[in-house]
A and B are shown apart, each in its own frame.
Chain A
Amino acid sequence: MTARVCIQGGDFDLSAEVAALRLADKRVGAVCAFVGTVRDQNVAPTLAAGAAALPPEGALPPRGGPSAAAPILSMELEHYPGMTEKAIEAMIDEAHRRFDIYAARVIHRVGLLQPLDQIVMVAVTAAHRGESFKACEFLMDYLKTQAPFWKKEQTPEGARWVDARVTDDAALARWGIEKPNT
């Protein structure tokens, strides 16, 4: 059986990962996969209904740091080896408790990445689409605020550590989990 969590420097192949996840499992009627990629701009997401109002992105740029509008040339991903794997394993256990799913796999890349690169994959199999959609979104929402990764962006104006977003805390709170990251 493939490991449920993989932290790696190299790229991944979504088709191969999905094929491995549903391999010979005739119960599977739905596969939901999410892939996150590196943007060249640090743009704020549109606020979900009910989420707390935020000041405009870039209203308070870090003193002496690059402006929020500075384009991203590359990104360095740091993590906490050991804890990262344990934290995501626990998230997958929780997804199995909450949703009727068969298998889940999370891949997250670390190290130096460029715009357009794939950075994260969450894939889930289930009998029906509803549970697979929900579990996939749950795992991403959980990972965004509780897995120990940190992004540092290189811009023409210098490097900046990426700020955590209140909107990500709000996304996890929708699942009834109050573990604020910000």
Chain B
Amino acid sequence: MKLTVKYFASIREALGQGSETMDTASTDLSALRDELIARGGPYSQALARGKAVRVALDQVMSEESAALREGCEVAFFPPVTGG
């Protein structure tokens, strides 16, 4: 399925891009993260397991078990530091 993936803050900087469109066979956020890690290079480091990475699905903070939907918007970012 096709979806949009966004990256913010230190993760965006490490990957050198803020957004991409993907065609993926992954069915949930966890599998999508693994698919991105498997690209290697900066992806394997910025999204590495054990690293604090938060995920949003359609602009709502989500657990990685959440299912992906056609055309959805996923975002990966570090812990938030506003306020």
Binding site for B on A (CB under 8 A): 36, 77-80, 82-83, 86-87, 108, 119-120, 140, 143-152, 161-164, 179, 181-182
Contact = CB atoms under 8 A, between A and B. Distances in A.
Contact of B52 (A150, A151, A182): A182
Interface string B54-67: 10100111000000
Contact of A150 (B6, B9, B56, B59): B9
A137 to B, nearest CB: 12
A145 B78 CA distance: 11
Contacts of B75: 80, 83, 148
B27 interface: no
B4 to A, nearest CB: 12
A147 B79 CA distance: 10
B83 A164 contact: no
Contacts of B9: 78, 150, 152, 161
Contacts of B41: none
